[in-house]
Structures are given as C-alpha cells and as structure tokens.
Amino acid sequence: MDRYSIEKDIEICAVKLHILSCIIVIITVYRSPSGNIAYFLNNLEAALNQIYSDTVDIILCGDFNINYLSDNQNKQALNSLLTSYSLYSVIEFPTRIHNNSNPMIDNIFINKLKNENYLVYSLINSLPDHDA
C-alpha cells in the first residue's frame, strides 16, 4: 500500500488474513483535515481495485476526517466510491469530542450484506481527542 500513501493526503496500510476458508483484508487509513480530498479518493480507489474480489471480505477503517454526522460533499463522494465496492459505514455516534464539537470523523466500512451480525459501540478511552 506504500505506493498509494502520501503524508497528509492518504496514509494507508493493509493486512490480509486467511482464517479457515475466509480471506479478510483489513485496511486502515488516515487523511489529514488539510489533505487533498481528490488525491485521497483516487488513491483509495486504486488500493481497493488492487484488493477487491468477491472472495475477499474488506474491512476499511480509520480517521477519514470527513464528518458523517452532517451531509457534505466529501461524505457523498466517499460514499459513492465505497458503495461501488459494497462497503457501508457502521458507525453511528460521535468519535471525537472536542470543545463544543462532536463529529464522527473516524469510521468503519464493511459489506453489510455479507456481514449481517456485527456490533459496534464507542469505547471511552480517555485519550485527548478520539474515542475508540
């Protein structure tokens, strides 16, 4: 994944797990709030193209710095891209508590059709700005 990474725009890594007869790829990303969103989306798409297959379960997670609690262009663009890979957000609560702002900028995306039984909850971890 190194070839898709550039500091602040997209920092991405992945691990492929072979568990019994399943192949799971966990991808984690970071996008700085000041990063280039077009570069982020283009390189995320290239990375997903490299990994995607009907036989692979993808879990995409990380700090996207795109607030999913409000409707915005970046959210729409990311959703459009990820929907084409059958990946949907499973987080429904604020992930960063800062002053008077409670955005949901950390996220997890999975194929909800393949993975119907999942549980996601917030873990208050006492770190300065992000919950787990």
CATH of the domain at 88: 3.60.10.10
Task: Tell me the pLDDT tens digit for each residue of 70-117.
Answer: 999 999 999 999 999 999 999 877 776 666 667 778 899 999 878 778
Instruction: Indicate whether 116 belongs to any domain.
Output: no
User: For position 120, what pLDDT does the model report?
Assistant: 82
User: For position 97, what pLDDT does the model report?
Assistant: 66
Instruction: Indicate whether 118 belongs to any domain.
Output: no
Give 24 or 122, the one with higher predicted confidence: 24
Instruction: Indicate whether 53 belongs to any domain.
Output: yes
Q: Give the range of the structural domain holding residue 43, as residue numbers without chain letter.
A: 2-110
Instruction: Indicate whether 47 belongs to any domain.
Output: yes
Instruction: Indicate whether 65 belongs to any domain.
Output: yes
* Stated pTM of the model: 0.88
Number of domains in the chain: 1
Q: How far lies 6's CA from each of 27, 44, 72, 132, in Å?
A: 16, 12, 24, 25
Instruction: Indicate whether 44 belongs to any domain.
Output: yes
Instruction: Indicate whether 132 belongs to any domain.
Output: no
pLDDT of residue 127 exceeding 90: no
